[in-house]
Amino acid sequence: MMSTNAKVTIEETRIQETAKHGIGKLNKSIENEYCEVKAENLNFFYGPVQALFNVTVKVQEKGVAALIGPSGCGKSTFLRVLNRMNDLIPGTRLEGKVKIHGKNIYAPNTDVVNLRKKVGMVFQHPNPFPKSIFDNIAYGPRIDGLKNKTALTEIVENSLKGAALWDEVKDRLNEPALALSGGQQQRLCIARALAVKPRILLMDEPTSAIDPIATQRIEDLVRNLCNDYTIIIVTHNMQQAARISDNTGFFLQGEMIEWGTTSNIFTNPQDKRTEDYITGRFG
């Protein structure tokens, strides 16, 4: 099958690249070819309207990258470029290259289904399926062909533990997921994404629809998860970006104005517009 081949190729590339450059984490400063996520001269269009202008960025493995900027600046569009969810919108067009694990994900022979298994996504509004908690988590592995009940149970448990939800729901896995609170639903969605064993997790304003206490739990969770996953999070909340991210990108009107370590962006921004936004002069 196509997907298996693609998977193998990605793994091979990764091994080769790792051999060439050492472990990804250690050579953050080196200008290496292998990158977790890399966009080069990316332009994106909704029909005639251009939403992203010449975005170039490299995201390294593990850790949290935050994308900030005012509404409509293109940060969510950029996020959805990375798992090709924009494909669902008719009339969209992309120029430039987006590489994930060294492979151009917009190459004609890309297996989008397989890409989305490697690049999970958590949405702004919690969107559990109208199914039981168990069936929500098991959905991804099941459509991947896993039928073994023991294996599924194990994945469900691990994913829920990974999303810090296990203790709250372990006794009611068969209850409808929609009966959970908003914050729990969002953690369920994170668990559901983890169950597919992605390498990268995209989060599109995951806390904007839930209360502050639930938000804090998700922020803690994100900090934990970034030891095992590369997390790219879009947030309209600058404090959140400052709290949880290692690197931050600032978008404005479709351009990535500045990209750097979070501490640099927030304490020593290079661009006047970044500074204005950070200090609350607009946005």
| C-alpha–C-alpha distance, residues 256 and 131, integer Å | 39
Size of the site for other proteins (CB under 8 A): 28
143 binds other proteins (CB under 8 A): yes
Beta strands 92-100 and 103-104 are antiparallel
Instruction: Take residue 134 and report the two structure tokens written for it.
Output: 């168990």
The reply to whether 114 sits near other proteins by the rule CB under 8 A is yes
Q: Does 89 bind other proteins (CB under 8 A)?
A: no
C-alpha 206/C-alpha 189 separation (Å) is 10
Distance of CA 6 to the CA centre of its chain: 20
Residue 103 sits in the site that holds other proteins (CB under 8 A)? no
Residue 86 Cβ vs other proteins, minimum distance, rounded to whole Å: 11
Nearer to other proteins, 116 or 187 (CB): 116
Which of 94, 178, 208, 237: binder of other proteins (CB under 8 A)?
Answer: 178
63 interacts with other proteins by CB under 8 A = no
Q: Which stretch binds other proteins (CB under 8 A): 28-36, 65-73, 137-145, 215-223?
A: 137-145
Q: What is the DSSP string of 34-48?
A: --SEEEEEEEEEETT
| Residues in a beta bridge with 179 | none
The binding track of 182-221 with respect to other proteins, each residue x by CB under 8 A or -, is: ---x---x--xx--x-------------------------
Decide: is 74 part of the binding site for other proteins (CB under 8 A): no
Determine which residue in the list 17, 129, 157, 166 makes contact with other proteins, applying CB under 8 A: 129
Spatial CB neighbours of 3, under 8 Å, sequence gap ≥ 6: 111, 113, 114, 117
Whole-number minimum distance, CB 56 to other proteins, in Å? 25
In degrees rounded to 5, what are phi and psi of residue 100?
-125, 125
Considering the complex, what minimum distance in angstroms separates the CB of residue 116 from other proteins?
4
With contact defined as beta carbons under 8 Å apart, do 256 and 226 qualify?
Answer: no
What order do you get walking across the sheet with 119-122 strand by strand? 119-122, 200-204, 230-234, 63-68, 247-252, 255-261
Binding of residue 126 to other proteins (CB under 8 A): yes
- Contacts with other proteins by CB under 8 A lie at 83, 85, 88, 113-114, 116-117, 120-121, 123, 125-131, 139-140, 143-144, 176, 178, 185, 189, 192-193, 196
